Amino acid sequence: MALTRINIGPVHPSTHGVIHLVVDIDGDTIADVEPHIGFLHRGVEKLTETRMYMQNPPYMEKLDYIAPMSYNEAYVAAVESAMGIEVKERAQYIRVILLELQRIASHLLSVGLLCNDLGQMFTGFMWTFKDRDLVLDLLQEAAGSRMFYVNMRLGGLNRDLPPDFADHANETLNYLEKRVTEYENYIEKSPIFTERMKGVGFMSPEEAKNLGVTGPVLRGSGVDYDVRKNNPYYVYEKLHFSTKVLHEGDNFARYKVRMLEMKESIRLVRTALRMLPDGDALGMPVKLRSPNPVNRIATVNRELPRGEVYMYLVADPQKPYRLSMRSPNFINLAALKHITRGQRIADLFAIMGSLDLVMGCVDR
């Protein structure tokens, strides 16, 4: 069999971030894909060893720049575990509210970019990008910034929610709930979208588990696993979180899981706002000197918008001795080689879009 080798990237406009793909094709059928990564590598894990504990959150937020608060919270939670610091009850509710708003903003951009990747659906991208701006307004109200927040503090937050936040949030959520249904009606009635998504990029439950994928990619293959349900943290148990799982295992299922998760996140934020207790939510002020660790080794896993992150922290006084992270995007990208074999070259970018990759997280 005579194969043709083509290079895609690292600056190809249809790729997600900076990545180089070496693709072997037989006619227009993919025989193999070899991802080349490292173009955004900044050595964040090693860099944390040279900084005090609370000097590191700004670096964490640059890893997944679509959902920066998620990585920030996971790192601070690992430090809290090492220091033996308990998060205040009100702060736990607010963290869940902010993380779920961040998830909605992330999934909105994911769906919009997927529409853009498929072509002929730029309207979907413009709709989701505009509505995502409303969620960023809420995060700005709560944290003071629209992108890099650095609002987590040991034991709580940098600031409490403003007095009128609940009213603004519920108004935005009521609007978004209707819009998500409108997205589905528009996107799923498009023959271009359905033909390029259904039955494409199939991954069985056994393959998903063997490949180690997480997040919507895993749940789109019928595996009922979500850290918020299987290893709940903060107040997710009190909010009666429901995992969203589909069994088709294709591009469309991975897209649909994210749509369902946006609806569930809307419900979670509403419930958390309604149950939000009184009290203090502020954490410790940022100081170069942190409390000495009570646990030498701390581990934390969290459900980020793109899947599970696992943080392994070896704690020294004042700064980490070692920090290692299992990145959801790195693992999900590794599955690309497997699920693209036998697919058409035109479907490569639809499959990549369904994985929802952020290369800063891959190249951490």
- Cβ within 8 Å of residue 201, ≥6 positions away: 250, 251, 254, 339, 340, 343, 347, 350, 351, 354
Radius of gyration of the chain (CA): 20
How high is the pLDDT of residue 39? 81
How high is the pLDDT of residue 308? 94
Residue 130 lies in a domain: yes
Give all strands of the β-sheet with 320-326 in edge-to-edge order.
297-304, 307-315, 320-326
CA distance 276 to 100: 15
Residue 278 lies in a domain: yes
The position carrying tokens 């603004």 is 168
Residue 48 lies in a domain: yes
How high is the pLDDT of residue 284? 87
Domain containing residue 141: 37-362
Q: What is the mean pLDDT of each run of 10 residues along the chain (364 residues)?
A: 83 65 90 88 90 91 89 94 94 96 94 82 84 94 88 92 94 94 89 88 93 94 94 94 93 94 96 94 78 88 94 92 92 91 90 88 83
Q: Considering its fold, how many domains does the chain have in total?
A: 1
Measure the CA angle with vertex 56, ends 137 and 95; round to 5°: 40
Q: How far is CA 14 from CA 106, 203, 330, in A?
A: 19, 23, 19
Residue 29 lies in a domain: no
- Cβ within 8 Å of residue 79, ≥6 positions away: 53, 54, 85, 154, 290, 298, 313, 315
**Structure tokens, 34:** 């070899």
Query: By three-state DSSP, how is residue 22 classified?
Result: strand
Residue 7 lies in a domain: no
Residue 44 lies in a domain: yes
Residues facing residue 47 across a β-bridge: none
- Cβ within 8 Å of residue 338, ≥6 positions away: 203, 207, 211
CATH code assigned at 291: 1.10.645.10
Residue 118 lies in a domain: yes
Measure the CA angle with vertex 312, ends 309 and 314; round to 5°: 160
Note whether 24 and 3 are within 8 A (CB): yes
How high is the pLDDT of residue 11? 66
